[in-house]
Every structure is written in structure tokens, then in C-alpha cells.
Amino acid sequence: MKRREFISLLGGAAAGWPLAASAQQTGQMKRIGMLMGNAENDPEGQARIAALRQGLEKLGWIEGRNIKIDYRWAGDDPSRLRILAAELVAIAPDLLFGAGTAATAPLWQATRTIPIVFAQVTDPVALGFVASLARPGGNITGFATYEHTVAVKWLELLKQIAPHVSRVAVIYPQANPSSDGFIAAIEAGAPSFGVRLFPSAVRNGAEIERAIEAIAAEPNGGLIALPGPLTVHRELIIALAARHRLPAVYAFRYWVTSGGLASYGVDNIHLYRSAASYIDRILKGNKPADLPVQFATKFELVINLKTAAALGLDVPVMLLARTDEVIE
């Protein structure tokens, strides 16, 4: 079965699932351990949690009434994710939730028995989290974003908006297991776009600044910020790109609404809201091994024309015609 047909089949099956239910009569409080790669005060992280809570409430799971959620936030230190994952496993909750690839990996490494649901994971088969999309086969399943090959689209978008770019810095968080797959995909596509890549693994603001300054030191530079724990530094990255007049492409819409140039990616909020359905089913007795991984099916292209104008870029009309959202 082709992947596209498989996704369509999932969509049809999902339509028959109950969208709402009365409060669960379990006789006891269920406990969920939730690992977040964001800072607790990050609006994007809070929006994702709010979407997940909304999804759970529609299914009858009310925080403080029949579920207790233990939150752990990595903040600006992704290296703490492994420690926080161990803390959550030690609590022995009924279920663990991983927000993103970087947060899901340490949970999966810490336990093969406690059920795990994830949202916003890249290519879980390639990462070894699951045996297959249709039959995960272990204690983990959830809602994925895309495969690593989407990274070529980011490079293509950068060249469409800024054809003069010939040197591209690719900054990525060391804590994200998906980074190697993204880098490999971009490296494979780089020759066809006539660019040289300068990948830089970064851990903090100082390393981000050095990487961006290095690409800006010579002309015709551009920037791609890979997804992952870099989110906590997005204001710094966007500001540095503006200061050095670097065209930059990102993976998600919220970077562009914050002043970034362009993004191509999925609707994260929808993934988190959808993840509630699997949490519900597992708390009712279903096994993660039997719940197929679902991929996001809708991608959105977002361009900030104000930022483009500030960089002296004229976005091609044909590209704008395909853009889902234009910010002016």
C-alpha cells in the first residue's frame, strides 16, 4: 500500500471515531507525564498544551477531575530532557506524552513498558521509534509531522525567494535526533540548487550568534533554521537574520508571524489536539502497538512581505499565488 493511500485510509477510519464522550467513570484518577521541549512561558508551547487539553476535555478527560498531568519543561536547556524524562518515568504514570522529537526520544529510551503518545515527531520509522506506521509494535505511537525529505522544500523555498543565495547556514539543535536526517536530505539536494551548505550544531544563544555571523561575513548568504529546541531562541534568530540581512526559512508558521521571512510546514496545533484521541483510547485500554501512526496531511506556506521588503526581496508572483498566508 502506498503511503498516500495509507494516510487516506487513516483519515476515513478516524472519521468513525467518537469525537466526544462523557466523563470517564474509571473509579480513579489517571496520571499523565508530559515532557515539553519549550520554556514554560513560551506562548507556542502553551498554545500546544491548550489544544491538547481541549481535545481531552471533548473526550471527557478533565484535568484535576479524572486526570492529573505532571508537566516538565526543558526551557532553554535541551540537555535536561533526559533527566526530566527519567523523572517522569519514575512517577510511574498511566501514560507519557512527548511533545516533539527531542522530547519523545528520551522518554522512549527510558521505558519500553509505559505507553507513550507523541505529537510533532519527524519520521518515527526512520528514528526507530516504531516498526511501521500501520503497526507500531511497541509502547509508542502518535501523530507525526513529515519525513526528513521535507527539508529539501525549505532549501527550494529559500532559493525561490532569494535566487542570489549561494551559501546557506543550516543551524540545528544538538538535542534533536531528527537533525541528522534533515541535514542529509538538504546535502543531497544542495547541488541541484547551486548552493554550499554550512551546517552548525548549536546549543545556546552564543553559538547561534557565531553561526549566523559567520555566514553573514561574506555575500550571498542565507539561513535555514531546523525544527526542534531552537524554538526557545526564535526571537534571537529572527533578529540576527534581520540585522545581517539574511533571507531565512523556517519550519513553522509561528516563526513568520514573529517576523521571520518564510516557512513551510504543518499545523502543529492540530497535531496536539488530535493526539488527545490516542491518549483517550490508551487510557481506556487500547495498546499503542495497535494504534497506527498518523502523519499530518496539510502543509502551509507562509510568507512575510514586510520582512521581504526590508531585505530588498521581491517575492515572485507565482510563489505568492501558492502561498497559504501572506503577512503584510
| Average predicted confidence (pLDDT) for the chain | 91
Percent of residues, the chain, with pLDDT higher than 90: 81
Residue 31: strand pairing partners: 68
Give the span between the Cα atoms of 95 and 70, in whole angstroms.
Answer: 11
Residue 249, pLDDT score: 98
Q: What pLDDT is attached to residue 182?
A: 96
How much is the pLDDT for 27?
55
Angstrom CA distances, 235 to 48, 105, 212, 289, stand at 19, 26, 14, 39
Any idea which fold 3-146+266-298 has?
Rossmann fold (3.40.50)
Task: Could you please state the CATH topology (level 3) that the domain comprising 148-265+300-327 is classified under.
Answer: Rossmann fold (3.40.50)
pLDDT the model gives residue 201: 94
What average pLDDT does the segment 214-236 reach?
93
Q: Per-residue pLDDT averaged across 244-270, rounded?
A: 96
Residue 22 CB-density burial (10 A; 0-12 exposed, 13-18 middle, 19+ buried):
exposed
Domain with CATH 3.40.50.2300 in the chain: 3-146+266-298, 148-265+300-327
- Return d(Cα 225, Cα 249) in angstroms, integer: 7
In the predicted structure, residue 11 carries a pLDDT above the cut 70: no
Amino acid at 107: L
Pairing relation of β-strands 95-99 and 67-73?
unpaired
